[in-house]
Amino acid sequence: MTVLRAIFALLPTLFRSRASMQVEILTLRHQLAVLQRTSRRPKLTPADRFLWSWISRHWCGWKEALVIVKPETVIAWQRRRFRDHWRRLSRPGRPTVSPEIRHLIRRMSSANPLWGSPRIVGELRKIGIDVAKSTVERYMVRRPRPASPTWKAFLRNHVNDLVSIDFFVVPTIRFRLLFVFLVLATDRRRIVHFNVTEHPSAEWTAQQVVQAFPWDDTPRYLLRDRDSIYGAPFRQRVRNVGIQQILISHHCPWQNPYVERLIGSIRRECLDHVIVLGEDHLRKVLRRYFAYYHRSRTHLSLEMDAPDGRQVQPPDRGDVVAFPEVGSLHHRYERRAA
């Protein structure tokens, strides 16, 4: 039966062209050479794959002559070559970062351990260097500390006519508790007013709102929580100045995200690194931090600008100079001519 199969297989070759027979002989000899140079499983090189991809495009009977691999494998090789070819041609490439900028990113992250990559991106933009956040994360100095939490819940309606208020507690060196009252304008994240007391009351809190808006520039809405400190005297005084109060739900501080985010920044970037001696000392520390916060600190929500606005300084203005802020906890970077 084997001989008969060979004879019947030989009959079609009598009617084939010489070129077709030569190609078939080439393919069979190539497969034999592959089998001879391998012991167990045939191993194909890139040159072998290229040869079979070429044969599959120029000879219609290549599937019948294929023995050691499946025809689907050869088709997959050809598709992969096509895909790799166009991937190489369409790869745009990324611009290189100069050694000076890489060194500056490392220097900023080392001198400001409380800064994340968005803060460094904003500071670089203010001195005329525009780099991506991923580039800063690649070259900044890594530290074994968890990343600060991000706030994703933002109030978007009436942001220009809205102020947020809240209290937070600061312990002193003698274990006294001081209460800090904040009034935040949400449009530019500006701290309109703050004050410190050891014994807060509804009357004292109402007086702080009047001091924050002494003229006719009162906001339309005031966002606050349901703390009992905002008693009847406070509500009456706020109603008299024409401000509508918006109360958040019980135990839902995320509904007042702007001032909660500010309190978190004050703690992480300032008070967690200072031992408070008393009321006067706390006011002095907060004034220094708020001056830095308004003039220098960049914000994601402000498109990497400061609340008071900062000018972008192009590279031709001079070298980058660091100015310490808040007792060297932070730095402001500007360009100065030599």
Percent of the chain with pLDDT over 90: 39
Q: Are residues 170 and 246 in the same domain?
A: yes
Radius of gyration of the chain (CA): 36
In a domain, 137, yes or no: yes
Question: Count of CB atoms within 10 A of residue 9's CB?
Answer: 9
Predicted local distance difference test score (pLDDT) of residue 54: 77
* Count of domains observed in the chain: 3
Whole-prediction pTM:
0.60
Q: Are residues 192 and 242 in the same domain?
A: yes
In a domain, 204, yes or no: yes
Q: Are residues 231 and 171 in the same domain?
A: yes
Report the SS3 class of residue 123.
helix
Q: Are residues 229 and 108 in the same domain?
A: no
Q: Which of 117-131, 156-170, 189-203, 242-256 has the lowest mean pLDDT?
A: 156-170
Chain CA centroid to CA 126, Å: 18
* pLDDT mean across residues, the chain: 83
In a domain, 12, yes or no: no
Q: Are residues 140 and 183 in the same domain?
A: no
Picking from 31, 81, 84, 29, the residue whose alpha carbon sits closest to that of residue 53 is 81
In a domain, 4, yes or no: no
Q: Are residues 168 and 277 in the same domain?
A: yes
In a domain, 216, yes or no: yes
Q: Are residues 141 and 170 in the same domain?
A: no
In a domain, 80, yes or no: yes
Residue 285 and residue 271 in contact, taking contact as beta carbons nearer than 8 Å = yes
Summarize pLDDT for 32-75 with one digit per residue, the tens: 777 656 656 666 777 777 777 777 777 777 676 666 667 777 77
Summarize pLDDT for 75-99 with one digit per residue, the tens: 787 788 788 877 777 766 667 788 8
Side-chain-side CA neighbours of 6 within 13 Å: the count stands at: 3
In a domain, 230, yes or no: yes
Side-chain-side CA neighbours of 92 within 13 Å: the count stands at: 2
Q: Are residues 165 and 282 in the same domain?
A: yes
Range of the domain at 312: 99-147+308-336
> For residue 188, what is the domain's CATH number?
3.30.420.10
In a domain, 212, yes or no: yes
